[in-house]
Amino acid sequence: MSLQWCRNSLVFVFAGLMIASGQAAEPVLLGNQSCATSTCHGGVITSGPAWNHSLSTWIAKDPHAGAGLLLRDQDSRPIILRLNPAAADSDDVFDNVLRERCISCHVTVAAEDTRAGEQLPNAVLATGVSCESCHGAAESWLGEHVQADWHGDKRFATSTGMRDTESVIGRAATCVRCHVGSRTADGMVRDMNHDLIAAGHPALRFDLLLYNENMPRHWDASSEAENAFQQSAIRVRDVGRAMNLAASLELSAQRAVDHLNTRESVSLASNQVPWPELADYDCFACHQSLDFRRAESTVVSSGVPIWNAWSTVRQLAITPAAMASLSPMRSDAERIAKLLPVKAKEWRSNAVALASQEVSPSERLNQIRDELLQVRKLSWYEAAIQYLRLDAVQRDLAKDPDKAVVAEQLAKDLSMVEKTLRFDPDRLKNQRGRYHSPARFDVNKFLEAMNAALHTALNPASDASSAKSANSANTARNLSIFLSRSAASQP
């Protein structure tokens, strides 16, 4: 009875809002209050179905809920002051920096809220990244979504305004709007550019698999859609990386377009968009030691910064000529504005194709092994991506009861691989790090750890001792060749 009352009430509220808004072209954000009753999404956690306490779970456990108020804390304040030193003496200036540079990602707001204006009430920041940031502005679907026939893919039709957060493609597309960035989505600028990184904000290195795992479940973890999503960690990571690259290509093109549109600005005090945008490049090509007596394992591009290394490694083959044309000294904004949207569309199509592919753990293991055997020089980025690919294999093996033993051992081996990738591997948990780049990355230690991990995965315990012996010998021989070749090729 109460659920029917909730449905009827929401339909009434929804109809009233549509009349009051005059059938606005852009759906209106209604806020969490439209979801908060105990008969809707504000119920007691663990009591009833997951949808009934999804808002309560978000408020209590999800870091997104506190993302807005985070902008007022002592870690964020120095970043704001570096972006605009005048903010130290003016609350209005401080809050306008938040409006123009921060809240499009940290708070659920409309485009007009991100323009310079009056001070930001803490009540606005307290909303954090709430329901409508991910699910879409509720005005267009609030009444409909409580109806009995609201299920299946029709919920995510363009006409409904509700975003797809269930499929791997839909979830990735939703996340990259903030976690990679965009200068056009929802009419807002979400751009983690070099200014923000230099001011102290961490660079964005999004991984769909890990981010999704770290989110407290405020949805039905046993649903058919969720089971399909969780079926293959390999697929989630592959699709996530392809969508990362597509979003990065789109963002770079948008930066180029905005630069071309603002380059005639009279002064840097205006909204001029700089070019080249250094956030598009491999950070460590520039941020590395200038001590030439010691070779750097991070130098992977002969002095030319690699374009968007985190996303392009193992995905987009950049020829030396293309790398030179993309370099900060030669990058042509007009060419980028035309070329990269085409490549972005291609990679979104690639992501869709990857979403329908089945890659078994054994297939991926052989791919990783073969790729490492062929590589001539290993960068930190390449090593990190190969670690993540092997990590996805381990997660899929762990789902198979017959592979539990090898999955457990592989997890231990991977912890040693991961340690070789840390910037400061000997730092204790609560110590301040001394190093902020992979300048001390030891490629041979990484390869030794990967050797052990691949040996575990490729040679699981077997009753067929002779086959095991032959496989082990073959794997050891191949990897020893790989180790000696890679060690010899390092500077």
> Hey, what long-range contacts does 440-446 have (CB within 8 A, 24 or more apart)?
441/297, 441/298, 441/380, 441/383, 442/297, 443/297, 443/378, 443/383, 443/486, 443/487, 443/490, 444/483, 444/486, 444/487, 444/490, 445/420, 446/378, 446/383, 446/417, 446/420, 446/421
Of residues 386 and 427, the one with the higher pLDDT is 386
pLDDT band at 460 (very low <50, low <70, confident <90, very high): confident
In percent, the amount of the chain with pLDDT more than 90 equals: 63
Confidence of residue 316 (pLDDT cuts 50, 70, 90): confident
Picking from 1-5, 226-230, 474-478, which range would have the lowest pLDDT averaged per residue? 1-5
216-230, 259-273, 391-405, 409-423: the lowest-pLDDT one: 259-273
Q: Of 52-61, 242-251, 256-265, 288-297, where does mean pLDDT reach its minimum?
A: 288-297
Max CA separation in the chain (angstroms): 78
User: Which is more confident, 103 or 477?
Assistant: 103
Mean of per-residue pLDDT scores for the chain: 85
Mean pLDDT of 64-77: 96
Residue 469 has pLDDT above 80, yes or no: no
Q: Taking 90 as the threshold, does the pLDDT of residue 297 lie above it?
A: no
Decide if pLDDT at 111 tops 70. yes
Query: Among the ranges 58-62, 286-290, 314-318, 486-490, which has the highest mean pLDDT value?
Result: 58-62
Helices 380-398 and 361-374: angle between axes, nearest 10 degrees:
160
Say yes or no to pLDDT of 301 above 60: no
Lowest mean pLDDT: which of 23-27, 110-114, 334-338, 394-398?
A: 23-27
Return the pLDDT at 68. 97
| Structural contact between residues 313 and 382, judged by C-beta atoms closer than 8 angstroms | yes
What integer pLDDT is reported at residue 376 of this predicted model? 72
Q: Is the pLDDT of residue 110 over 50?
A: yes
* Of the listed ranges 198-212, 241-255, 325-339, the one predicted with least confidence: 325-339
Q: In this predicted structure, what is the pLDDT of residue 478?
A: 53
> Mean pLDDT, to the nearest integer, of 277-292?
79
CB–CB of 56/43 below 8 Å? yes
Query: 118 pLDDT band (50/70/90 cuts)?
Result: confident
HEC readout, 333-382: HHHHHHHHHHHHHHHHHHHHHHHCCCCCHHHHHHHHHHHHHHCCCCCHHH
Residue pLDDT, tens place only, 322-345? 777 778 888 899 999 999 999 999
Four-CA torsion 65, 69, 73, 79, nearest 10 degrees: 100
Cα torsion 420, 424, 427, 432 to 10°: value is -160
| pLDDT recorded at residue 227 | 95
What is residue 290's predicted lDDT score, i.e. its pLDDT? 66
Going by C-alpha positions, the residue among 237, 250, 243 that lies closest to residue 389 is 237
The interaxial angle of helices 380-398 and 233-262, nearest 10 deg, is: 140
Residue labelled with tokens 């059938």: 23
Q: Does 149 score more than 80 pLDDT? A: yes
Per-residue pLDDT tens digits for 388-432: 999 999 999 999 999 999 999 999 999 999 999 998 877 776 777
More confident residue, 173 or 489: 173
Give mean pLDDT, residues 448-458: 93
Domain ranges of the chain: 2-164+194-201, 360-491
Distance CA 231, CA 471 (A): 29
User: What pLDDT does 22 receive?
Assistant: 46
